[in-house]
Structure 1
Amino acid sequence: MRKSLLLVAAAALALGAGPAMAKKQVVIVVKGLDNPFFEAIHQGCEKWNKENASSEYECFYTGPASTSDEAGEAQIVQDVLGKADTAAIAISPSNAKLIAQTIKTANPTVPVMTLDADLAAEDSALRKTYLGTDNYLMGFKIGEYIKKGKPKGGTICTIEGNPGADNILRRAQGMRDALTGQKGLTELKGEGGWTEVAGCPVFTNDDGAKGVQAMTDILAANPKLDAFGIMGGWPLFGAPQPYRDLFKPMAERIASNDFVIGAADTIGDEVAIAKEGLVTALVGQRPFEMGYKAPSVMIDLIEGKPVEDPVFTGLDECTKDTVDTCIQK
């Protein structure tokens, strides 16, 4: 009797009626789990899982607790690439050079792509493709809005995130190029009428409260400042009330373009802040779409299918007058 039961069990396993086999993982590693932008990527990943429940692959989302933990992200990438069930990985590098070195050291046999933020151009061969925002174009559009508001130029401060984040550096370059009509300037000293004030750019490590405090300090030191270019929406979505408190007294100046603020992203409270007239323009990304598309792109890479490089996910542009229709549904 016992022998018969064992034979039945073996036959059931052979037919696939036994315990479910563990799925292969297509992994998304983000800069930090404390950022609402990356949570939107997570939600896209989870939607893909729900719609592809029968797939042999599972989208797995991870990252360090804080966006300031560059070493933590590199360690997670190293660990993920060492796991037997990892089939592919999509990385949003907080520090492009550190992640490039991590990939070189790991020498992975599975496809590697970047998401949201890319590697530096000289390290691009380490990944198969980049999926996300055209960050240079995003920064260029922010610059166009600032220039439209202040066509004769003025003084400006750029708010950036991690100094090693390639996506933020590309945005800042795009903004400077749009303001000046020149390419490649790393600091503005009067070109196109624009001058970056002392102490800028400010690097905030994607910390919203730190960004608002930095802007408070810059305004105190430069009462005649004309503009802020904010390369990530951290001060607006990460510290919305302190941001409002800082700029409500300047609402009339913002409305008349006497003071101009161009900022990245359209998440959290940002669109509401635009509707309140406390930012001149927002140029937003589509993080949910990034998270939703990434698993399919990774599977195409696994299967050796052709994948474009880069794969851009588009932009949304919001002003006070367009907030009701500016976000792609």
Structure 2
Amino acid sequence: MRTLPMLAAAIVLALSASPALAKKQLVIVVKGLDNPFFEAINQGCQKWNKENPDSEYECFYTGPASTSDEAGEAQIVQDMLGKPDTAAIAISPSNAKLIAQAIRNANPTVPVMTLDADLAAEDSALRMTYLGTDNYLMGYRIGEYIKEKKPNGGKVCTIQGNPGADNILRRAQGTRDALSGQKGLAELKGEGGWTEVAGCPVFTNDDGARGVQAMTDILAANPDLDAFAIEGGWPLFGAPQPYRDLFRPMADRIASGDFVISAADTIGEEVAIAREGLVTALVGQRPFEMGYKAPSVMLDLIAGKKVDDPVFTGLDECTKDTVETCIQK
């Protein structure tokens, strides 16, 4: 027979394990856990948790181990949407079409939003808002930095990530529009003086080493290349030393504007590389802010409050001359 103290202890244990006391999850699903950009989103998510310890909700960060695992991300989205403690979800789609189908399959009853990367325009009704970078503007600014140094045009290669990632495709379109002075071109064939060389765009699947190797190959095949537009910072933050080894011999050309490298992001070693003069300009995002804001946006959606669509988080632009002050604090 149990004594009263034993019964009391058992009741406390049962209550502490009760699902009713578990916090509801504000889920963030990213493209991959192997990318420092997404770790910055996680840090923002965890800051929100620390600042809201008494909330009935908590920010829960997850994703596949690798950014190359598109199917893994889609499965995680479906799994999270099937869990009873998921109160809302924010998704950074690696493959926009695949994630759209995963959302349809799950037929969610909780708010869905996108973060960092959006769904394709025709699938936008599947989510309630997008929080993150204005990716078209980001790509446009990448192009403008190139055009500023090479106003008469030249030969260019864009380095992209996943061919199904809507955010990268929007950036690439922005870059082409800035260089050509036209809207919506799928390839540059002399418009605005700019031509994309054979073998470009290069799709790296967000792999930094692959990006550096691709740039090495493109330079070897095109010694008259004038510029790289790097639509995600993977070669710089994912393989910083190989990147330095490739471009250090070209430092004088980069400094003079004879060769231009305009790249996305301001994370990891990227700002140090800018300080060393091995990239012309960085156009950075604010991933920490995305992760920190996402839980609050999800709570507004849960409460039925009006939320803007999209919600943009701004850009940070860095050159060698501005690296000490270019990051938004």
TM-score normalised over the length of structure 2: 0.96
Report 1:42-53 matches (<5 A): 42-53=42-53
Aligned counterparts of 2:238 and 2:195: Cα–Cα separation in 1: 28
The answer for the alignment partner of 2:235 in structure 1 is 235
Deviates more, 1:2-11 or 1:148-157: 2-11
| Counterpart AA for 1:83 | K
| Alignment match, 1:222 | 222
Q: CA deviation at 1:86?
A: 0.3
Taking the aligned partners of 1:164 and 1:18, their CA distance within structure 2 comes to 42
Q: CA RMSD in A?
A: 1.9
* Equivalence for 2:268: 268
* Structure 1 position 166, deviation (Å): 0.1
Which residue of the partner structure matches residue 61 of structure 1? Answer: 61
Cα distance between partner residues in 2 of 1:172 and 1:26: 31
How many Å separate the matches in 1 of 2:174 and 2:208? Answer: 22
Task: Give the C-alpha shift of residue 11 in structure 1.
Answer: 9.7
Amino acid corresponding to residue 157 of structure 1 in structure 2: C
User: Which secondary structure state, in structure 2, belongs to the residue aligned with residue 243 of structure 1?
Assistant: helix
TM-score by length of 1: 0.96
**SS class of match (2:21):** coil
One-letter identity of the residue aligned with 1:260:
V
Q: Deviations over 1:11-63 (max 9, x none)?
A: 989xx999781000000000000000000000000000000010000100000
Find the counterpart in structure 2 of residue 203 from structure 1: 203
Residues in 2 aligned to 1:11 and 1:233: alpha-carbon distance in whole angstroms: 53
User: Partner letter of residue 285 of structure 1?
Assistant: Q
Q: What is the rounded CA distance, in whole Å, between the counterparts of 1:260 and 1:110 in structure 2?
A: 46
Is 2:131 the counterpart of 1:131? yes
Residue by residue over 1:146-190, the C-alpha shift from the partner in whole angstroms, topping out at 9 and shown as x without a partner, is: 000100000000000000000000000000001111000010000
* Matched AA of 2:114: T
Distance 1:204 1:10 in 2: 55
Cα distance in 1 between the residues matched to 2:271 and 2:238: 13
Paired residue type of 1:141 = R
Which residue of structure 2 lines up, in the alignment, with residue 83 of structure 1? 83
C-alpha separation between the residues in 2 aligned to 1:215 and 1:294? 35
Partner SS state of residue 109, structure 1: coil
Note the residue ranges of structure 1 that are not aligned, 5 or more in a row: none
Cα distance between partner residues in 2 of 1:320 and 1:5: 68
Instruction: Give the superposition deviation at 1:107.
Output: 0.4
User: For 1:28, what is the secondary structure of its paired residue?
Assistant: strand
Aligned-residue offset at 1:10: 10
Measure the CA separation in 1 of the matches of 2:203 and 2:246.
Answer: 19
Q: Which residue type is aligned with residue 196 of structure 2?
A: E
1:106 aligns with 2:136: no
Deviation >3 Å, runs of 4+? 1-13, 16-20
| Number of the residue aligned with 1:92 | 92
SS of residue in 2 equivalent to 1:131: strand
Report what 1:312 is aligned to.
312
Cα deviations by residue, 1:207-248 (Å, 9 ceiling, x for unpaired): 000000000000000000000000000000000000000000
- In 2, Cα distance between equivalents of 1:163 and 1:182: 22
Q: Secondary structure at the match of 1:60?
A: strand
Report percent identity of matched pairs.
Answer: 85
1-structure distance, mates of 2:8, 2:76: 42
| Aligned-partner Cα distance in 1 for 2:323–2:164 | 32
